[in-house]
Structure 1
């Protein structure tokens, strides 16, 4: 049994390397991902690679690559309004805008231009659920969190402008669009003005209509009446000690990082949570970076 377990673990890790390799190449539109090349990454027979990939991840490698490209395109259409559809098509590996539009319409039942203006916020991510399954499986096999991954930091009082998302988590993309547009208008670029999420409740045990999460950007600018009418308000992230655990990769496993903080670290730390919600500080954003390179600091305020 031990030999079988070791063999299975080795096989999984070899194919997880393939997932990382695909992610690494996804931003290179000239990169052709052949089955033979991917089989070499896995050190696996090219005659059997595609069947083993499907057996491990419940989808073909070609479907995985196609969904990954279209997911990146969907994010760019929604949140990178300055990019043309043709540029987005090239960026995600399509030879021309026409072939990209056909593939996008087949998946979303909308053209890219219609989707950009009027997406179905409740369901636009539904076609990409299989990707979350693959990522969760691949990341879990290499996720070796340790208690000493957590560090204690001191934060100064931080003034932010915040916009709350209230309602079903599936519609948070709509609020993110408003948040991005507002911060662009106010010249609050992420490279100079840090971005935080304020987690006021847990989506797993909160009715969708009552879910609330703050989207905050660091700024000391005074909010105008128009800003306040748009839903923005000033909130200060309190000074003090915070437990920080860095999450690198897709948001798919952010809940596991949070769970590690509460389940594994906190009971062994002699620390007590402070009277303020959990924070996510967004350090590097998808799709500006590859999804597996996105960086989020999970910050737990301490008493």
Structure 2
């Protein structure tokens, strides 16, 4: 099969995307990015825009602003000034002007009253570029593991997947109160249904943290309940990269690996174990173990 010349360009510029994601917290110039692509600095910016339908400068700005938005929503202990500096702005005022232009809200208003249905809309182009360039998870890395019985505190998100961030906020706040840090207490998502064929108002996903703590009446009122993840044999596929391609990896596990393996799925939903979190790590370095229970 003849390789399309455009494939070589995609590969070279995919390295640029990964580099931007990994180093968006420092100054990046086009000459540096052109060198990573092994492309003429005189033509790099035009080729980038031709491939991705967005300029490199705009892409970098969106990467920084999306990470800032995540920090505002899910890292509430970080001051807005620090988030502004991390996003490359000299002061909170200039960051606030740029953020308001993108989200039609100030950073403080966004942090306290986000528009959950639409807050990711400004980053649609960014997400498409990442989906097109991030490496597909290799199915030859699937392993069979013995998973131990794990008791968790679980909170269900029920309703539109677009609003799951609202539930994540409450989940993070609760586990902070109970000192259940991710470095010591594993984090899981339980996929009670398939978002692709479930009406938005019926969508259900469990957010769970490993713990043996007992629940108070107040915990129950907040929506937490005890959920035990059953022990047994599981197929594990490590997904590295954006959540935008997490569903693709899970689909490949069912479509390509499972029929060839001779295995049969067990009587429990698919589980995502979150190992490394965005925005604590660059999005292309986020790690999620996809766990498929086996009979």
With the shorter chain as reference, the TM-score category is: over 0.9
Q: Report the alpha carbon displacement of residue 144 of structure 1 after superposing the two structures with TM.
A: 5.9
Q: Report the alpha carbon displacement of residue 143 of structure 1 after superposing the two structures with TM.
A: 2.3
Q: 1:78 and 1:144, CA in 2 relative to 1: closer, same or farther beyond 3 A?
A: closer
Q: Is contact 2:68–2:84 with CA below 8 Å preserved after alignment?
A: yes
- The aligned length equals 295
Whether 1:279 aligns to 2:277 is no
TM value normalised by structure 2:
0.98
In the alignment, which of 51, 69, 73 is matched to residue 74 of structure 1? 69
Provide the C-alpha distance between the structure 1 equivalents of 2:93 and 2:70, rounded to a whole number of angstroms.
Answer: 19
Tell me the residue number matched to 1:46: 41
Q: How does 1:50-199 map to 2 (within 5 A)?
A: 50-139=45-134, 142-143=135-136, 145-146=138-139, 148-199=140-191
Q: Is contact 1:159–1:218 with CA below 8 Å preserved after alignment?
A: yes
- Alpha-carbon deviations, 1:235-279, whole Å to 9, x = none? 100010000000011111101110111111000000000010000
SS in 1 for 2:208: strand
Q: Is contact 2:158–2:205 with CA below 8 Å preserved after alignment?
A: yes
Q: Report the alpha carbon displacement of residue 202 of structure 1 after superposing the two structures with TM.
A: 1.1
TM value normalised by structure 1:
0.95
What is the Cα-based RMSD across aligned positions, in Å? Answer: 1.1
**Structure 2: any 5+ residue segments left out of the alignment?**
none
Q: Report the alpha carbon displacement of residue 131 of structure 1 after superposing the two structures with TM.
A: 1.0
- Alpha-carbon deviations, 1:140-168, whole Å to 9, x = none? xx32623x210000011110000000000
Q: Is contact 1:160–1:237 with CA below 8 Å preserved after alignment?
A: yes
**Structure 1: any 5+ residue segments left out of the alignment?**
none
Q: Is contact 2:137–2:238 with CA below 8 Å preserved after alignment?
A: no
Provide the C-alpha distance between the structure 1 equivalents of 2:88 and 2:251, rounded to a whole number of angstroms.
Answer: 36
Query: Would you identify which runs of 4 or more consecutive aligned residues in structure 1 move more than 6 Å?
Result: none
